[in-house]
Amino acid sequence: MGQSWEEIAADKRARLAKTIPAEWKIEELPTEDSVLDFPRTSGLLSAEELEITGSSAVDLVAKLAKGQLKSVDVTQAFCKRAALAQQLTNCVHEFFPETALAQARELDAYFEKNNGPIGPLHGLPISLKDQFRVKGVETSMGYVSWLGKYDEEESVLTTLLRKAGAVFYVKTSVPQTLMVCETVNNIIGRTVNPRNKNWSCGGSSGGEGAMVGFRGGIMGVGTDIGGSIRIPSAFNFLYGIRPSHGRMPYARMANSMEGQETVHSVVGPIAHSVADIKLFLTSVLHEQPWKYDSKVVPLPWRQDEEDAVKSKLKTGGLNVGFYRSDGNVLPHPPVLRGVDLVVDALKKNGHNVFPWTPYRHDYAVDLINGIYASDGCEDIMKDIKASGEPAIPNIKNLLRPDIQKVDMNSLWDVHLQKWNFQIEYLAKLREMDAQLGSEIDCIVAPISPTAAIRHNQFKYYGYASTINLLDFTSVVVPVTFADRDIDKKNDSHTPASDMDKEVQSEYDPDAYHGAPVAVQVIGRKLTEERTLAIAEEIGRLLGNSVTP
């Protein structure tokens, strides 16, 4: 007889624990809520390792490309810090420092021999969500039943990052099914936020959020079908981009509901700065991903698009819409203040900022929730049941008892509803263009109704998922931190719905004190260059920008 799911999971945890060398083990785990300062205060990292891991990806690749740093040293530093991240936040599914160091040595040898880098990411360690297939490594995606299979073929993006010179050393944790904006599964349990263990790291790319937030990785790669890149970015005070579908290669990634194409999951980076995000995107585009993945649009980086926005920035000429509430669920006071901070900063710098009326976001949220469950959850339940493990409580709403598999002709109706909604939204944008006499450049909005949330409290995905339905480009910008002295409980709000009430009642100024607050900067479809340039400027105005 086979093992029970508990035995398989326990075995995996034991195997994972063994991947951390004895000299990187933390003898006594800290008891503080925040572990963000641990690398500096514990003495476990050398000064050089602290400097490397405290740097930026742009700086690191510049030094690696000049031979001022060796990949093996950079890789060693991040492996060590990632080992700490794992012990402190439980954010790892796969850890393979030896393979990584071997890869780094090869790249150093290449550099020596060719007197130059192999590609734009030469020698840079990059952290991957446990959806990426990496040769010789398991991909469990949080399903017990997936354990024990070692990948032979790699994801297209794995291959292209490798070609660009990236080093792989870790695959980070995800929630069972991926359909949750927190990170918990029956294999490793829960991943926590390095800023406060009582807060979620977000999800589904939550392991990336915790890892990059802790600087166990300089940048990480996540995926997003309803906020899964953007929520972990927001909850860890990081930048993150949800590119539009077709910009980055998703081929050969593992997934739940693989083949579901009504709303596409997309892949994108999470990092400490827009400059690092740009480095990631330009490096991937440099490899011409459209020659490997048929879904990628043949669109190299458009420097002219970035420059067009930057010249507007000089003259204070941006047209920025904003909304504080989507009309469904009112954000908590810190998030409303976050939007206000961005609006004020932009206005102060001469930009044209005006309210944007969210168009039928209630309709959109219902529509996309239906799409997530269009096979009656058959696919995810198959993977859950295969091992006998229980479904995590967080997907209760996804598995609501009335869901049914959608009939083909009903699916086609849903496709039309989605398309019509998108077309109507474009019409609203054109109306605004006409009113302005020039083009609206972006919309600033909450990405979550809450700051980094307490465990098991993430309930409302609409701020993120409506943008997925529209397939707009969205960049998360870290703004501020919840402050119990400023962000008082909102007692005057009349809830629009049970969900609104439930979310609002979760706010507690003390519990959320210090929790990261972010906004998303939303651009039209496939406007990554423009939207990133605006996000970078907002970060700069707020003083939250790392510009190397």
Q: What residues does 354 pair with on adjacent strands?
A: 321
Tell me how far apart the alpha carbons of residues 56 and 402 are, in angstroms, rounded to a whole number.
Answer: 48
- Told to check if 299 binds a second copy by CB under 8 A, we report yes
Does 378 sit near a second copy (CB under 8 A)? yes
State in angstroms the smallest separation of the CB of 426 from a second copy.
6
Stretch that binds a second copy, among 53-61, 65-73, 389-397, 422-430 (CB under 8 A): 422-430
Tell me how far apart the alpha carbons of residues 30 and 28 are, in angstroms, rounded to a whole number. Answer: 6
Q: Does 402 bind a second copy (CB under 8 A)?
A: no
* Count of residues interacting with a second copy (CB under 8 A): 50
Per-residue x/- track, 483-522, a second copy (CB under 8 A)? ----------------------------------------
Active-site pick, 70, 80, 129, 171: 129
Instruction: Tell me which of 228, 273, 325, 387 is the catalytic residue.
Output: 228
Q: 146 near 239, Cβ under 8 Å?
A: no
**125 touches a second copy by CB under 8 A:** no
| 129 catalytic per annotation | yes
Q: Give the contacts of 353 (CB within 8 A, at least 6 positions apart).
A: 320, 321, 322, 343, 346, 347
The answer to whether 260 contacts a second copy (rule: CB under 8 A) is yes
Say if CB 423 and CB 309 are below 8 A apart.
no
Element counts in the chain: helices (H) and strands (E) = 18, 15
User: 355, 322 in Cβ contact below 8 A?
Assistant: yes
Residue 247 · residue 299 · CB < 8 Å: yes
Give the per-residue contact string, 156-175, with a second copy (x = CB under 8 A; - = no).
x-------------------
Least distance to a second copy from the beta carbon of 428, Å? 11
Tokens 């991957």 label which residue?
128
Q: Which of 146, 290, 301, 354 binds a second copy (CB under 8 A)?
A: 290
Query: What pairs with residue 200 in β-bridges?
Result: 192
369 contacts a second copy (rule: CB under 8 A): no
From 10-18, 234-242, 358-366, 425-433, span contacting a second copy (CB under 8 A): 425-433
Quick check: 526 binds a second copy (CB under 8 A)?
yes
* For helices 528-542 and 303-314, angle between their N-to-C axes, nearest 10 degrees: 40
482 exposure class (CB count in 10 Å sphere: 0-12, 13-18, 19+): buried
CA distance 344 to 102: 50
Give the 3-state secondary structure of residue 30.
coil
227 is in an annotated binding site: yes
The residue (of 91 and 263) whose beta carbon lies closer to a second copy is 263
Give min distance, CB of 256 to a second copy, in A: 11
**Alpha-carbon gap, residue 417 to 177, rounded angstroms:** 26
Peptide bond into 204 cis (omega under 30): yes
Does 225 belong to an annotated binding site?
A: yes
| 459 given a catalytic annotation | no
Distance CA 180, CA 205 (A): 9
Kindly tell me which of 111 and 356 has the beta carbon lying closer to a second copy.
356
321 in a known ligand binding site: no
CA-wise closest residue to 259 among 387, 378, 413, 146: 378
Q: How many Å apart are CA 416 and CA 87, to the nearest integer? A: 48
The answer to whether 220 is a known ligand-binding residue is no
Write down the catalytic residue from 127, 173, 204, 233: 204
Q: Which of residues 320-359 bind a second copy (CB under 8 A)?
A: none
Chosen residue from 96, 168, 425, 512 binding a second copy by CB under 8 A:
425
Q: What are the binding residues for substrate? A: 178, 204, 225-228
Residue stretches of the annotated binding site: 178, 204, 225-228
List active site positions: 129, 204, 228
Tell me which residues touch a second copy (CB under 8 A): 156, 246, 251-252, 257-262, 290-295, 297-299, 374-376, 378-379, 405-409, 411-416, 419, 422-423, 425-427, 429-430, 433, 470-471, 524-527
